[in-house]
Amino acid sequence: MPTSMPDIAHSADALQEGKLDWVGMGNIELPLLLSSKGLNDTPVTAKADAFVSLDREDAKGIHMSRLFLALDSLSCEQTLTPATIRSVLDSFITSHEGLSHSAKVTFHFELPLRRASLLSGKQGWKNYPVMITANLANGRFNLELAVDVTYSSTCPCSAALARQLIQNAFEEKFADQSLDHASVHAWLGTTEGILATPHSQRSVTNIKVKLDEHCQEFDILGLVNMVEDELKTPVQAAVKREDEQEFARLNGQNLMFCEDAARKLKALFEAENYPDYYIKINHYESLHAHDAVAYAVKGLKDGYRV
Ligand SMILES: Nc1nc2c(ncn2[C@@H]2O[C@H](COP(=O)(O)OP(=O)(O)OP(=O)(O)O)[C@@H](O)[C@H]2O)c(=O)[nH]1
């Protein structure tokens, strides 16, 4: 007569009694089919973190396989949408009847998006790090979308200092001469003329937006487009020389301290009326060995903190 297997999580007493905020698994490998506005359903390779609260003080443990198998069904049978995430969290809680009142899940993945070049009409892929976090507690569903957008920032102070050097060089070159249009024009096209350029650097904004709890559809493309249109100088995918020249113009016409970038996005997100938002600006300075950093949040009492 086969004996039944011991079920420690079910039968054993807790070594030490007490509630736990979250118990579960981290870094679960999970292929998903993402559904997001403006995109074909996109296969992504995600890492998932899955948790329930342990509210019964004398319970030995949760049932991890139940969380794992609920995520496996999401991966194999459904697309990733706000509704399917909510139903996964529902199943986390119902599969832990009497043990858990709350559940949360996080999906981290890279989303490949087709990006158009500035002028040449070419296209190329760019990957965007995305994190979707959801939790369900006492019937309240919270959903958050986080994305990183990489761009170029050119320093306004450095640009002013470079312009001064160019003016000084002009004085030196053409002092006490009648100005000949052609020779000035030629001089401006030389490194002797434009003898200084401002420093610019690759920069990343980490963005988190709280989505409405009745949100039906992710719009990751819309969020990325809105941020890149506002910053004007996202790093490029396909670049021909005409694109590179336009990129140089955009950098020259959109000089940005980290404060400027943060204020631009704060104003944008205020206008978009997100329930809450978090912005971190990282300028990985080419002038310094350290970064220039700025933060902005909506400032709600129970909202994002910096
Ligand atoms: N709760 C908990 N389980 C763990 C941990 N480490 C490993 N496990 C194992 O997770 C496995 C899955 O637990 P359960 O989901 O309860 O597995 P099960 O009893 O076969 O499934 P059910 O019949 O649905 O309860 C068990 O074999 C546990 O030993 C841990 O730190 N905490």
Average pLDDT for consecutive 10-residue bins of the chain (306 residues)? 69 80 98 98 98 94 97 98 98 96 98 98 98 95 98 98 98 92 96 97 98 94 98 98 98 98 97 95 97 98 94
From the CA of 144, how far away is ligand 1's center (Å)? 29
**Pick from 278, 271, 273, 268: nearest CA to 299:** 278
Q: Which among 113, 285, 295, 288 has a CA at the least distance from the CA of 202?
A: 285
- Would the CB of 25 count as within 6 Å of ligand 1? no
pTM of the shown model = 0.93
**Backbone conformation region of residue 69, classed left if phi is above 0, alpha if psi is from -120 to 50, else beta:** alpha
What was the ipTM of the complex prediction?
Answer: 0.91
Residue 169, phi then psi, degrees to nearest 5: -65, -35
In short, whether 9's Cβ falls inside 6 Å of ligand 1 is: yes
